[in-house]
Chain A
Amino acid sequence: MSRRKPTLISIAGEETVIFRMRAEDGRFQTLCSHPLEAFLEGGELPKVVSQSVNRLLVVPDYWVGSRFDAFQARKKSVIAAFIERKLKSEQPTLTEAADFYNYAIFDGQDHRRQLYTFYLQEAVAYRLYRRLAALGISPLRMTTPALLWQAKLADVADGFSRQGVGLIHLGEGDCFLYFYFKGQFLFSRTIQLPDTGGDASQVYDLLNFEINQSFYLYSQKTKSTVDALFMLASDPAAAPRLTELLGREVTELPGPPLPSGIPEDGMIPPECRIFSVADVMRTDLLAISYKPLKKEMYWRPVQWAGIAVGLLLVAFLAVESAYLYSLSASADRQMVALKSAGAEPPERVLQNVSLALDEISQALQQPSGGGTVMRALMAMPDAVTMDKLSLDVSGTPHLTFSAVVHADNPDTFKKILRAFLERLNDRFDLKTGALLEQDVRISLDRGEGHEKTPVYRIDFGLELSS
């Protein structure tokens, strides 16, 4: 039985990289952490980590750069070619950026289509990916806290994709500011909060100043203003206080702020501690995937479907093949049984019968020797005496006949000859038609003993029908 590989997520900070694995109860537990530089130089990992599937790598926001472009085309290949060309021309030092980017299309100002491109822009990000790849745990996706927040805010903030939104995440010692333009991450800032010894007013003054600075930066980048400001803080009074200081509404994010799947772990970057298991495992998260890996992930379901359907068909066809083979063998056996049942195959018997009929027919077609002679003799009038008769049936049956006609005068001879020919024509089926007087050779014999009475000699040949 094949076992599913355990799910791993990795979180990279400025100085550390942490590997967390999903336990059976669904929560993530830290397996190990390494100083980032030491890990990049060749730090080893527990076996269980290297045997896992690294589903997500969370990197600091500043490792990912972004750009906005007005773009009308919808075809993926055109968009990809445009982005890769832009990255090559504007980020010439990032030679691998063309393999590490992603994009989103949204309606910008005046409902013009905008292309939002984000890509790895820090060299250390590429080093980290290569190191993870070398260990066999290439992250399937790479994202940032700001992009995790983007997905989260799309669920909880009304009109997030239509307006400018700011998020203040107030932690214990840090405050993180995130700004989004029409649903797309624009920039973030990290503010180190001073230790004021219980006097929060200095912190809020600092936040007021930094947030106003960020508003200015926002308006410079987008030529528009922040429409809504959300806040996440452990202190419920923080949002009203900032509302008062900023002079505009700061909305506290709904829902429990810290049902964290990631326990309070000092090694985890503070901006990541807020995210739950559901946040990091969601599929609609904007993330970067290594292009060949993305292609592989894209085709994987197609391939597995092809393999599964193919195997099913092979099994089905194999069963069909076995069934057909048994039918064929059965037919062969029947054939053998039928052939062995008779002493002689029926087709040979029929062939013999056919040959026999041919031979019989041929024999029947041959004229009878006795019959031919008898018919010739019976056709002769009394005044005709046969001299010679020949019958040749080697080819077309041919009868030659010589006779002597005893007549007192030519008229009598003619009558006798005519009568003879009529009888012959009646008795024989002649191939060349009726025998006529002109077909008969006639000669007069005035030899010894016939000086007074002439003897008429006749010769003719007949082509008999077979």
Chain B
Amino acid sequence: MSSLSKRWLAVGVIWGVVLATTGGNIYFISRIQGRHQALDSIRMDQSYLKVNAAAIGQVLDRRSRLTHRVKSFGLGFLVVENDLKRLSWKFGLRRMRLTAKNEYPDTRPVPIDVFAAGPLPAMVKWLTAVEQACPYLAITRMDIDYDDRQRVGRLKATFTYRYSLSPLERTG
């Protein structure tokens, strides 16, 4: 290889390094820009969370009330059954019966059927009280048959029971 060619090769290599370094620097610049944007975004998010901490806490608290945190479905259902029956006694409903369709473990939410009988005003009060006391029970279907002669209504309601298991205690 002639010295002319060798020098051209050297020029090519050096300028190749120049181009590669330029490319690398462009990459660094875009990376730094990206990092700074991400940092700004995180700072803004943190600032927003700090300013709105109380409101966010309320939202999260309200959401947590929509799900019943239990150690197991059985224990949760026991609480639900107890609460619903306690309310039924309070408002004068009779013969309350609850059945859960928990066919598959760990399937959430679980439908719960409720059967009861009693005066219509008692049913309305009971339904309202359940919605207040147990926000994790959402009604999906309700049938009320009313016997005008005996002035007694028969309620069949299906609730959706939203629950979550506490860690390490996922047993039925």
Contact = CB atoms under 8 A, between A and B. Distances in A.
Contacts of A317: 18, 21-22, 25
B4 A366 contact: no
B144 A389 contact: yes
Interface in A150-209: none
A385 B126 CA distance: 21
A331 B39 contact: yes
Interface stretch (A62-70, A104-112, A351-359): A351-359
Interface residues of B, number: 57
Contacts of A140: none
A300 B29 CA distance: 36
A391 B142 contact: yes
Contact of B28 (A307, A324, A371, A387): A324
B165 interface: no
A292 interface: yes
Nearest to A308: B14
A355 B35 CA distance: 27
Contacts of B86: none
Contacts of A324: 25, 28-29, 32
A321 B124 contact: no
A338 B43 contact: yes
A321 B24 contact: yes
Interface size class of A (residues with CB under 8 A): 35 or more
A383 B20 CA distance: 91
A199 B53 CA distance: 125
Contacts of A350: 45, 48-49
B155 to A, nearest CB: 9
A370 interface: yes
A320 interface: yes
B103 interface: no
A307 B13 CA distance: 9
B14 A338 contact: no
Given A346-B45, A357-B59, A331 B36 contact: yes
B14 A306 contact: yes
A350 B42 CA distance: 11
A363 B66 CA distance: 8
B68 to A, nearest CB: 13
From B39, B43, B129, B142, name the one whose CB has the most chain A CB atoms within 10 angstroms: B142
B18 A313 contact: yes
A217 interface: no
B60 A352 contact: yes
A331 B40 CA distance: 11
B119 to A, nearest CB: 11
Contact of B131 (A325, A369, A387): A369
A303 interface: yes
A334 interface: yes
Contacts of A78: none
Interface in A340-354: 342, 345-347, 349-350, 352-353
A363 B8 contact: no
A21 interface: no
A387 B146 contact: yes
Contacts of A359: 63, 66
Nearest to A347: B45
B interface secondary structure, majority: helix
A450 interface: no
A325 B24 CA distance: 10
Interface string A418-433: 0000000000000000
A360 B62 contact: yes
Interface string A367-388: 0111101100100000001111
Contacts of B107: none
Contacts of B131: 368-370
A327 interface: yes
A327 B39 CA distance: 13
B41 to A, nearest CB: 8
B71 interface: no
B4 A299 contact: yes
A23 interface: no
Contact of A404 (B49, B60, B148): B148
B35 A331 contact: yes
Interface string B111-150: 0000000001001111111110001001111111110100
B139 A393 contact: yes
Contacts of A223: none
From A331, A369, A388, A404, name the one whose CB has the most chain B CB atoms within 10 angstroms: A369
B78 interface: no
Contacts of B32: 324, 327-328, 331
Given A306-B14, A346-B46, A359-B63, A369 B35 contact: no
A359 B148 CA distance: 40
Contact of A310 (B4, B15, B39, B60): B15
B35 A328 contact: yes
B97 interface: no
Contacts of B79: none
A334 B18 contact: no
A15 interface: no
Interface of A: 292, 295-296, 299-300, 303-304, 306-307, 310-311, 313-314, 317-318, 320-321, 324-325, 327-328, 331-332, 334-335, 338-339, 342, 345-347, 349-350, 352-353, 355-357, 359-360, 363, 366, 368-371, 373-374, 377, 385-394, 404
10 contacts: A296-B4, A303-B10, A307-B11, A314-B18, A338-B43, A350-B48, A370-B124, A387-B148, A390-B142, A391-B141
Given A307-B14, A327-B32, 20 more contacts: A306-B14, A307-B7, A310-B14, A313-B18, A314-B17, A314-B18, A331-B39, A332-B35, A335-B39, A356-B62, A359-B63, A363-B138, A369-B142, A370-B128, A374-B124, A374-B128, A377-B124, A387-B148, A390-B144, A391-B141
